Structure 1
Amino acid sequence: MSGSSTVAKAIAVVAVPVIAAAWYARFFRPKQLRWGSDDSEVFADLPGDDFVQHPKMHSTRAVTIHATPDEVWPWLVQMGYGRAGFYSFDQSEKAAHDADPKRSRRILPEFQQLSVGDVIPWGEKNEGIPVRMLEAGSVLSLGGTMDASTGKFVGATAARPEDPVDVSWTFVLKPVGETSTRLITRTRVAYSSPMIGAAVRGFVEPGQYLMERKLLLGIKERAEAKSRAGAGSPNPMI
């Protein structure tokens, strides 16, 4: 009996992760890669797509915000470490991105100036993701070439690293009528290493989904509250 029990446990140890991975790939992954978006958005060519020509990871997510693009835009440009954070989970934001949850609920005038070539910081020492395209009130595209060995983006004039990962992360604002906005995010990642592919599929994709979904909903909540406050709503943003 003990031998059979040991074999059963060994099979379970192998089978459970395999079944979980198969379930994720078959049912959860396709949905999370296009959360909130429709077919017209998923298959649309969006600004920033040309930065990564042949992506091996591609996601399109979206949310409707009852505020104008000009009212949503300030929340995008102030993202980053030491700035407004990424409107995600308050405690993790405070620890990882030096973001005061109360401060992240305000438009911060000191962080409203952003240009191509600037870096949206995600950690100390100005480590972060570069701005590659910016059309005020419409498009904010971030990304570049990352050195997989360091996890950092290399400069535009630097030599291409031995193990490159090309990334684009784009936010597109599309007006819906006169008072609402469709906020669409598009992520494209290209790499050659199978090990990087396994890491992207197993860890980066699920983590990015959780963070980005919360980010989109966080911007929606803040922009709508600010818009209501500007319209004289009894529920102004604190």
Structure 2
Amino acid sequence: MATETHTDRAETDRTAASQQSEPRRRSRLGRLVRTGVRTAVGLAVYATVVRPRLLRLGATRSEATAALPGDALNPTATFEATNGITISAPAEAVWPWLVQLGQDRGGFYSYELLENLAGLDIHNADDLVPAWQDLAVGDTIRLAPADHPAVTDEAGYLRVALADPDRALVLRTDDDPPTWTWAFVLAPVDRTSCRLLVRSRIAVESPAGRAGAVALEPFSTLLTMGMLRGIRRRAEREWAD
């Protein structure tokens, strides 16, 4: 009889424990569901609202959809970003800053500290250097040092595909067709100002590569806008002098 009483009590305890744990399980499930819903909503907002604006930050809708020099080089591009800025200086005053782009030349006029945290050894020039003003089709523009541990030599530079003074500079990777084209396009606004557009087109096939490209877009836009502002500041200062 005592055994039966003990067994009944144990069963009662298990039932009570189960009843107490059920609300906790439901609470955890509810939190997971809410987190999933918030994540899904956040991703949807980013994909439909934030990302499209990010990919054309500083550019008008017509600029972002217009055909630009270099587009035809990369017909299989899966990602495209077009950013822009107005510069209170004519195109001929901006062009010299573009032709000195390069890790081992005038830098990229962006956030030097961030770039060098990645070991890129970039030093942005604040002056025009005559030795860097000769740039021709076929020349290479380094993105990273040749001995950078995380960058293969082929990935460490871009080649000049087009150098149209005061109008367009187009860089590309060496593969054919190129997996990346980077175009800098100048368009006059009036006699003393112009628009500078930067278009990046990337062809990525693998799902992992595409996910990585999307993840890097905010950082890439940050650096691109920093570069545009850096070029504007230097060109306007030089033009005013």
Fold conserved between structures, TM > 0.5:
yes
- Pick from 95, 98, 123 the counterpart of residue 76 of structure 1: 98
Which residue does 2:74 correspond to in 1?
52
Contact 1:80 1:97 in 2 (8 A): no
Runs (5+) with no aligned partner, structure 1: 145-152, 230-238
**How many residue pairs are counted as aligned between the two chains?**
210
Q: Does 1:139 align with 2:139?
A: no
Partner residue, 1:186: 199
| Other-structure match for 2:142 | 121
Structure 1 match to 2:225: 213
Secondary structure of the 2:66 match is coil
Partner of 2:179: helix, strand, or coil?
A: strand
Give the TM-score normalised by the residue count of structure 2: 0.78
State the alpha-carbon separation in 2 of the partners of residues 48 and 92 from structure 1.
28
Question: Is the counterpart of residue 62 in structure 1 residue 84 in structure 2?
Answer: yes
Structure 2, unaligned stretches of length 5 or more?
A: 1-22, 147-152
Q: Structure 2: how far apart are the matches of 1:167 and 1:100?
A: 24
Higher Rg: 2
Higher helix share: 2
8 Å CA contact 1:85, 1:93 repeated in 2: no
CA RMSD of aligned residues (A): 2.2
| 1:82 and 1:97 in contact (8 A); partners too | no
Identity %: 33
> Is 1:105 aligned to residue 126 of structure 2?
yes
Q: Please name the residue that 1:235 is paired with.
A: none
Normalising by structure 1, what TM-score? 0.79
Deviation at 1:3, TM superposition (A): 2.9
| Structure with greater proportional strand content | 1
Kept after mapping to 2: 8 A contact 1:85/1:98: no
The Cα offsets for residues 15-67 of structure 1, whole Å up to 9 and x where unpaired, read as 45433322211211111111121233122211111011132211221111011
- Kept in 2, the 8 Å contact 1:86–1:93? The answer is no
Aligned to 2:112: 90
Q: Which amino acid aligns with 1:224?
A: E
